[in-house]
Chain A
Amino acid sequence: MKRESARRALFTRRVLLLGAGKLALTAALGARLYQLQVVESERYTLLAEENRISVRLIPPPRGRILDRFGEPIAANRQNWRAMLVAERTDDVAATLANVAQIVPISEAERARIEREIRRRRRFVPVMVRDFLSWEEMVRLEVNAPDLPGILTDVGTHRVYPGGEAFAHVVGYVAPPAQADLDGDPMLELPGIRIGRAGLERAHDRVLRGRAGTVQLEVNVVGRVIREVGREEGAPGQDVTTTLDAGLQRKVAERIANDSGAAVILDVRNGEVLAMASSPSFDPSLFESGVSAAQWREWTTNRRAPLINKAIAGLYAPGSTFKMVVALAALEARTVTPGERIVCTGVTELGDAKFHCWRKGGHGALDMREAIKQSCDCYFYEVARRTGIDRIAAMANRFGLGVPLAIELPGARSGLVPTRAWKQATLGKPWALGETLVHGIGQGYIQTTPLSLAVMTARMVNGGRAVEPHLTRAIGGQLVRGHRAEDWPAMGIPEAHLRIMREAMDGVVNERQGTAWASRLPPEAGARMGGKTGTTQVRRITLAERERGLRRQQDLPYEWRHHALFVGYAPTDQPVYACAVVIEHGGGGAASAAPVARDILTEALARDPARRRTPPAPSLQMAEVSRPAEEGRR
């Protein structure tokens, strides 16, 4: 018991010591607190109240998107805003009433402002109006004494001078969603926008730049007293596209009343000079949020205005595919260019009948004539001899059914079927009749207008596997791929390619050609070659065929054929390739070829090489790789 009491006594002593130590330590804390809060209070209060350092991110200006000549397609415009700091006015309603005399404020707006003022702290600025005009801004500033609590500042917003004509290619910006937050602190800034579609999205990182920081001395309500220091961020870099803005506008305008797409490429290097999809939309609507009604209108419209049909619209190529079939056959030596195959208007295979578009048939045709007159029976036969797998392999080499290098998000690669593909996806063996159908570009095959333009470009540029691209320079640095030598040869004999060029020349420039009506006018100074295509969107039944086919114009819109045309110009030294798809246009010769004629005429008229004297040989790359600014004017 004595030991226990000794132990307890020692414990008591030590715990009292611990307690004393704690008191001392707490006193030390108190003393330090006293020093900070009372003795040095003034110094820190000054730091806090009068001149606190606030570190703010400064969002860098978003890079512009320019056309190849430097004309802005997407740019920034200053956005003047009026804010209200509730704390600095005695009567919010009176201030708002005074503001309303300068800039109209609707009842709904007034309700929103008052709600936000109630919800936030009284020193937090609340947005009164943005997108003020310069004049409204000046009047607000001049009347500042009558507008206590009103602050004005300036932000930027994105403008698209080209509007709808460029919407699909350039895309648009929108406030970042939760999923977009990638660790870049800039994205959490209010009012920041990120690229949501098209080039805005594809080059978002480059365009966005890096945020700088600015250290500001601010007073108690957050008003900036002075700038203490700043670390510059990097402004977003300008992206120079391969587009020719003037040409793009013309192309978009030409197809504006149809549903479809048109693409013009420079065949020498794959640069996309124009790419339009119709109908289109106003990209600036996304900046501040699209109304539900507008969104519903866009998404339920059967003509799908938000879809870039040039890269995401899938169409059977129809007769525009015949050159690929012919090249596959020539390579496989299943036919010679001079061999004449007889077309009676119908090809029979077992019980099935495969019709030529011309009821009475074309008679005996060689390859060049068959392409020129777009004979179907000729290609049924050639496809049958060659086989689907060889045709598919050739199609892939021409960019059909394979991913292309185009920068745009949402680009689709289409489909070129093979035996293995059908077995794998449908679980059924390939049927010979399907080969025949694919010989005229129908069946499972699906292509995009862009891939058809690529096919055409590769066919007329001497067989180089150019990839389509939209980026010419980033921050003034040319990107690779603007010279013809950057692209590998495809290994297709020039003799074969020449037959294709001559046949396509014949399609347009000979009386029996299917696009004779769309030949270029003499003042264009050059000739266009090309190939029409008409694809059924529904099967023609035997009964209908026997009744006699109705004229396309008489059919309901959704039943009409898609009209396609692929073309190039000039025929002697090709520079431009184009693909045009007009949905439910009726026929390639009737609706698509005239579009191609007009847009290629425009392209030729704008051609910088042709306006210079002496005209430079078109395959000389020096012309194309010049700095963009020198190109025009």
Chain B
Amino acid sequence: MMERRLARERGMSLTEKLAAVSWPFVALLCALAAVGYAMLYSAAGGAAEPWAFRHGLRFGFGLLLLIGIALIDIRLILRLAWVLYAVGVGLLVLVALHGEVGKGAQRWLDLGGFQLQPSELMKILLVIALAAWFHRASLERVGNPLFLIPPLVATAIPVVLVLRQPNLGTALITLMVAGSVFFAAGVRWWKFALVLAAVAIAAPVAYESLHDYQRQRILTFLDPWSDPLGSGYHIIQSKIALGSGGLFGRGWLQGTQGQLNFLPEKQTDFIFTMLAEEWGFVGAVSVMLLNLTVVLYGLAIALGCRHQFGRLVATGISVNFFLYMFVNIAMVMGMIPVGGVPLPLISHGGSAMLTVLIGFGVLMSVHVHRAVEIEAGEDA
């Protein structure tokens, strides 16, 4: 039975691949995007313009991209891992040299009308590169500290580039995503402890080198009421909106905080606040669970994969998606400093949605090609 399936997947036809795509997973994504459409419709005061319609359009385009990527043979992705990585770093360098300055930071690359945030894409490319590195490594080699130096360097390059943009939030998420791949690959606990200790020591030094606006965010986080009309305004208004939602919310299109424009950037970073105000605790938790299901589904794909490369890629991509959600929601609830991280598939913004869907495309490719033979590492 197993042998027969294996033999079949060795030369899967397009239709077979399409059938192998996990359509329930796609349905989950559609559900999230539909939530996004509804919220953006509400954020515009009950109109498809200017956000909701474009959101739907982008999601449709992204979905096609996802399925297209899902059909790509995972072995091709493995072979091109480092090429893709190099392209990602190249884009980051390009954005540093020619990028559009948005809100005081150079993050965007304007590609003839649609903007790309290479730092988002880079997280996925980094995951692929790291997975390729660890794919061939036995546990003994992973245990060798010297073996860990190249992937650490490969992680450090994009992180430093993103930090210089400056975009502290994305840099930290990139670090954590990379960490999750290291972790899943079997790097020892004490090594993580060592890194954490080093970070704890370096933190005060790092704080000194932060940009003013980044420091301001941290200070505001510590005491938002210290400047209720200045930088604390976002968080306070967000909390008030959340709180006023109550258990069942005010109802769609009825959230006064969002509708009366108390909420800043309600269509992007603070969309969850609006959601929680209008749909209440029940609605907000439902959306969180929907997100969590997507993440766990991704991890399940990782567990079901027969090759280490696919397992690590799936893990990294799932963690990335989870971190988006976690950081965004924690941020609007005032649990961590505000960091310009959107809620993927729900917030308005093409770049994040596109990169998330590209990531899920790779995840789907792992799923479709979960049983292909990949020559395992030389000693695995």
Report which A residues bind B (CB closer than 8 A): 3-4, 6-8, 10-12, 14-16, 18-19, 22-23, 25-26, 29-30, 32-34, 36-38, 40-41, 43-45, 47-49, 52-55, 121, 213, 215, 220, 222
Instruction: Please count the residue pairs between chain A and chain B whose beta carbons lie under 8 angstroms apart in the complex.
Output: 133
Chain A to chain B: the 4 pairs with minimum beta-carbon distance, closest first:
A44-B243, A48-B244, A37-B281, A45-B244
Report whether A49 and B256 are in contact in the complex, using a CB–CB cutoff of 8 Å. Answer: yes
Could you name 27 residue pairs across A and B whose Cβ atoms are closer than 8 Å? A4-B380, A7-B380, A11-B311, A12-B303, A14-B183, A15-B315, A22-B292, A22-B295, A22-B296, A22-B322, A32-B333, A34-B281, A37-B245, A37-B247, A37-B276, A37-B284, A38-B246, A38-B247, A41-B246, A43-B243, A44-B243, A48-B240, A48-B244, A48-B256, A52-B257, A55-B233, A213-B229
- Given the interface pairs A11-B308, A18-B184, A19-B299, the reply to whether A29 lies near B288 with Cβ below 8 Å is yes
B187 vs chain A, min Cβ distance (A): 9
> In the complex, are the beta carbons of B243 and A29 less than 8 A apart?
no
CA A48 to CA B274, docked complex, whole Å? 13
Please report the C-alpha to C-alpha distance between residue A258 and residue B3 in the assembled complex, in whole angstroms.
105
**Assuming the A-B contacts A14-B184, A23-B292, are A48 and B319 also in contact, with contact meaning beta carbons closer than 8 angstroms in the complex?**
no
Complex: how many Å from CA A15 to CA B256?
Answer: 42
A36 touches B242 (CB 8 A): yes
Out of A8, A12, A33, name the residue touching B333 (CB < 8 Å): A33
Interface string of B323-363 (1 = CB under 8 A from A): 00010011001010000000000000000000000000000
Instruction: Give every chain B residue within 8 A of A43 (Cβ-Cβ).
Output: 243
Interfacial residues, chain B to chain A (CB-CB below 8 A): 45-46, 138-139, 180, 183-186, 228-229, 233, 239-247, 256-257, 259-260, 262, 276, 280-281, 284-285, 288-289, 292, 295-296, 299, 302-303, 308, 311-312, 315, 319, 322, 326, 329-330, 333, 335, 376, 379-380
Residue of chain A at shortest CB distance from B261: A54
The B contact surface, by secondary structure, is helix
> How far apart sit A54 and B256, CA to CA, in the bound complex (Å)?
12
Query: Complex: how many Å from CA A216 to CA B312?
Result: 54
A10 contacts which chain B residues (CB < 8 A)? Answer: 139, 186
Are the CB atoms of A33 and B243 closer together than 8 Å? Answer: no
Q: Which residues of B contact A52 (CB under 8 A)?
A: 240, 256-257, 262
Known: A29-B288, A33-B288, A43-B243. 18 other contacts (CB 8 A): A3-B139, A7-B139, A12-B303, A15-B311, A18-B184, A22-B319, A22-B326, A26-B326, A34-B281, A37-B246, A37-B280, A44-B239, A44-B240, A44-B242, A44-B243, A53-B228, A54-B260, A215-B229
Of all chain B residues, which has the CB nearest A222?
Answer: B260
* Chain B hits for A55, CB < 8 A: 229, 233
Interface pair A4/B296, CB less than 8 Å apart: no
A3 to B139 CA separation, bound complex (whole angstroms): 8
| Of A15, A29, A49, A53, the contact of B326 (CB 8 Å cutoff) | A29
Taking CB atoms, residues of chain A closer than 8 Å to B329 are 29, 33
Taking CB atoms, residues of chain A closer than 8 Å to B376 are 4
Which residues of chain A come closer than 8 Å to B285, judged between CB atoms? Answer: 30, 33
B45 touches A15 (CB 8 A): no
- A33 near B330 with CB under 8 A, answer no
- How many angstroms between the C-alpha atoms of A72 and B329 in the bound complex? 57
Which residues of B sit under 8 angstroms from A34, Cβ to Cβ?
A: 281
Q: Which residues of A contact B260 (CB under 8 A)?
A: 54, 222
Contacts of A121 in B (CB 8 A): 45-46, 259
A7 near B308: Cβ-Cβ < 8 Å: yes
Most interface-central of B139, B260, B276, B284 (chain A CB within 10 A): B260
B259 to A, closest residue via Cβ = A121
Bound Cα distance from A26 to B328, whole angstroms:
12
Give the Cβ gap from B218 to chain A, nearest Cβ, in Å: 19
> Which listed residue (A3, A11, A213) contacts B379, Cβ 8 A?
A3
**B91–chain A nearest beta-carbon distance, Å:** 28
CB distance B315 to A45 under 8 Å?
Answer: no
A41 surroundings in chain B (CB, below 8 A): 243-247
Whole-angstrom distance from the CB of A190 to the nearest CB of chain B?
13
Q: Known contacts A3-B379, A36-B239, A37-B247: does B288 contact A26 (CB below 8 Å)?
A: yes
Contacts of B243 in A (CB 8 A): 36-37, 40-41, 43-45, 47-48
Interface-centre pick from A8, A37, A44, A47 (highest chain B CB count, 10 A): A37
In the complex, chain A residues whose CB is within 8 Å of the CB of B262: 52, 54
CA distance A16 to B228 in the complex (A): 42
User: B380 contacts which chain A residues (CB < 8 A)?
Assistant: 3-4, 7
Residues of A within 8 A of B330 (CB): 29, 32
- Find chain A residues with CB under 8 A from B241 CB: 48
A37–B329 CA distance with the chains assembled, in angstroms: 14
In the complex, chain A residues whose CB is within 8 Å of the CB of B180? 18
Write the nearest CB–CB distance from A525 to chain B, whole angstroms: 64
A215–B237 alpha-carbon span in the complex (Å): 13
With the chains together, A26 CA to B292 CA distance in Å?
8
Within 8 Å CB of A3, what residues of B? 138-139, 379-380
Q: A30-B285, A33-B281, A38-B281 are contacts. A45–B246 as well, Cβ < 8 Å?
A: yes
- A139–B345 alpha-carbon span in the complex (Å): 54
> Which A residues lie within 8 Å of B333 (CB)?
29, 32-33, 36
Note all chain B residues with C-beta closer than 8 A to A16.
Answer: 303
